[in-house]
Chains A and B, each alone.
Chain A
Amino acid sequence: MQLFEHVRERRWPTVFGYVLFVALMVAGYYYNITFVQLGLIDLGTRLVGMTETAVSAWMAALALSTLVVAVATGVTMDRRGWSTDLRTKLRLLLGVVCVQFVLTLVAPGIRTVPAFGAWVLAASVGLGVGFPVSFSLAVDLVPVPDRGYVAAAITAVAYFAANAVPLSWSVDVFSRVMVAAMVPGLLALAVLSSGRLDRVEDVLSELGTQHREFGRGRFSHPEPVRARSAAFVVPVALMFGVFFVDSLGFLRIIDTPTLLLSSWQSPALSTRLFIAVAHVVGAVMAGVIYANFSLSRIFLWTFALFSLTHVLYTSDLRLAAAFPSLAGGASSPLNPAFYAVAVSFYTTLNFALWPDLSTAETVGTHSAIGIGVAGWLATFSSTALALYFQAADLTLLSHLNVVQALSLLLLSGVAAGLYGRRLVALARGDGGVSA
């Protein structure tokens, strides 16, 4: 890791850049996976009194709206040169955190559907601006060789905290914790954005020039990747597949009390800790593989892990269907642990991939399209499909069977695609050996 080199050579501003990036991304991601994804369901169903279907529809709207705002923000950032201006990005981020702070504070007081809808739209603006801005900080703060490890650290810390700290999935609890946690973050961002402290300004000046060295991502050599090229479109499509498979499966799992209470919402701390540790292990593994192997290898592992996870889930359900007395029995933590490893794998990839497919001049647009299409559009589509499944009274086994089929299809598709690419290269005489 280059971080150790920077520490040895006492390049403290660069080291501070690592810490700042990890802290900002952990805070943002933790907020997203807890408050936005879980708190919103509780807010809509319990406090506003909406049906789960109605809340899911609003969440799909949130995802779509976030995609639109994110792409608009990313394109604007690149066109106006904000992507290469660290101070502007920090100010934008301060604005986003201010909006989210207010939204978090008022959320438990919402009682009507129109207020809920307005909250969702306002939240989508915050998220849509926040994602491209925060991801684009990687070109200023994280050297290319360390992006896999830094992404692993973000994933590990965020998921460990989300799983190990026994918070109830209630918007009141989330709101109290988030507001308390946001205050120091707001102050720190305000100090960084103020431009009034010479010491801070010196550090920012140094960090602000690092994009010249760190800006061109791993996959943008020798030529920058363009948004319309296969080098960008294929990873976006594959990440869309990963997000879609994860979201479609997870939506149903958390809607099934027996599965939920024996895993992510287990009253036993040991079970939650086991899952939290599995997330950390998965993140570390993904970081190591990202830094040492080709991109295709980590995609293959991700799809393989998802396929295996859903084979485990569906096998258990098939067994329980064959022997109904098993259905009420305690569920093994092995399945959610495998799930956690798979989720950590692609989350790590998600944090490192978009800056690595960009340059300092394109990171806004590429991050926005990448996260917007792969993350938010996939979430929107999978939520819509899950709602359709719910309306069609699809059983848990049938639902997860579809997810398993999709993950196996993606796994075999990636494997066949890689083999086909090699085949074409050999046929063209690029690196092949003739007999």
Chain B
Amino acid sequence: MSPTEAIPLLVVVLLLASVGGGDVQEMSVTFEGDASVEALDDVHVVAGGTTTVPTDADVSGDVYVIGGTARIEGTVDGDVTLLAGNLTVVDGATVTGTVQTISGESSIAGGADIGRLSAFEAPAPSNSSAQRVGGFLLQFLVLGAAGWWLAGRHPVLLENVGAAITDHALVSGVVGSLAAATLLVLFVYMAFTILLIPVSIVGLLTELLVVLYGQLAFGYLVGTRLPVERARVATVAGVGLFLLALEVLGMVPYVGGLVQLGVAVVGLGAVLNTYFGLQAFEPVALPGGSE
């Protein structure tokens, strides 16, 4: 596991350890090789290789697995969390706290003594049509309500963002993809400083909101092409149709995902280039160019 690959998962570990409320003074990480541990720091992270708590060991601390293999044969007085990699708890082993599987492969023997067993079920939209419909309706309600309000109160904002999408799609896409990539990396690395975790979370959420604003502008554009006179109704209908089209696109392997990504970055760039629609985007005038 390279540093770049390890950093996001280590950030997650730090977040989980912070949320857990424990007083974490020391943390150790195993990146490679076989290790048999007789004692643990407050938090031990298994990022590679194989770490074993042997049969006769009784260790105290929390274990996080983000890569490699963790094998519990003895007693762990704390929680064990599996984020990626493999976890094996054999017959006769004891974990006094919670064994939580978020992702990765876990094998918990029936004869193991576990305080609490927990498995995080990631939402699987493709497996449940009800969940997909629910998610779609929720997104439609939120964006539709925002569209209804903006189209009624501040239509010029949507007009400006919409014009940046239709008239300057390439520029919007370039600015959107640059901003998305750089901000994403920046916020992840901010989180790694620990001190800036709140800023990082706020930043990522803001980035998501800007993307949603871009989607709203796409919906507005679809609405202007519908045979509906009332702007508010047209915008809400346009948002619905746009979200539906995105859902359909998501079913097309590879190409659908790429188009969705393209739409997201063009929307993001259009929002940024127009200062959230407060100003129409005009490229600089070049001498010798068409005015």
Contact = CB atoms under 8 A, between A and B. Distances in A.
Interface in B25-49: 29-33
Interface string B156-200: 000000000000101100110110001001100100100000000
Contact of A331 (B4, B32, B168, B288): B4
B189 A312 contact: yes
B2 interface: yes
Given A319-B3, A329-B2, A332-B4, A312 B185 contact: yes
A291 interface: yes
B7 interface: yes
Interface string B1-14: 11111110000000
Contact of B289 (A2, A312, A316): A2
Given A315-B3, A325-B31, A326-B3, A293 B182 contact: no
Interface stretch (A28-36, A107-115, A282-290): A282-290
B20 interface: no
Contacts of A145: 286-289
A329 B288 contact: no
A335 B2 CA distance: 11
B1 A329 contact: yes
A143 B287 CA distance: 10
A330 B283 contact: no
B124 interface: no
Interface string A129-149: 000000000000001110000
A285 B286 contact: no
Given A301-B178, A319-B6, A329 B31 contact: yes
B158 to A, nearest CB: 22
Interface in B274-291: 283-284, 286-289
Contacts of A2: 288-289
A316 B3 contact: yes
Interface residues of A, number: 37
Contacts of A335: 4
Question: Which among B2, B6, B171 has the highest number of chain A CB atoms within 10 Å?
Answer: B2
A332 B189 contact: no
Question: Which among B1, B175, B177 has the highest number of chain A CB atoms within 10 Å?
Answer: B175
A27 interface: no
B185 A308 contact: yes
A329 B283 CA distance: 45
A316 B31 CA distance: 14
B47 to A, nearest CB: 8
Contacts of A434: none
B287 A308 contact: no
Interface stretch (A210-218, A242-250, A360-368): A210-218
A288 B170 contact: yes
Contact of A315 (B5, B7, B168): B7
Nearest to A311: B189
Contact of A319 (B7, B30, B182): B7
A320 interface: yes
A292 B281 CA distance: 10
Nearest to A308: B182
Interface string A388-407: 00000000000000000000
A335 B3 CA distance: 11
Nearest to B190: A311
A281 B182 CA distance: 14
Given A213-B288, A285-B174, A291-B286, A304 B3 contact: no
B31 A323 contact: yes
A217 to B, nearest CB: 8
B285 to A, nearest CB: 10
Interface in A313-341: 315-316, 319-320, 323, 325-326, 329-332, 334-335, 338
B3 A329 contact: yes
Given A315-B7, A325-B32, A218 B2 contact: no
A221 interface: yes
Given A144-B288, A214-B288, A311-B189, A288 B171 contact: yes
B1 A293 contact: no
Contacts of A291: 283, 286
Contacts of B5: 332
Question: Which among B174, B192, B286 has the highest number of chain A CB atoms within 10 Å?
Answer: B286
6 contacts: A143-B288, A144-B286, A145-B286, A218-B286, A320-B3, A332-B5
Interface of B: 1-7, 29-33, 168, 170-171, 174-175, 177-178, 182, 185-186, 189, 192, 283-284, 286-289
Listed from nearest, the 5 A-B pairs whose CB atoms lie closest are A332-B4, A145-B289, A292-B283, A316-B3, A325-B31
Interface of A: 2, 143-145, 213-214, 216, 218, 221, 284-285, 288-289, 291-294, 301, 304-305, 308, 311-312, 315-316, 319-320, 323, 325-326, 329-332, 334-335, 338
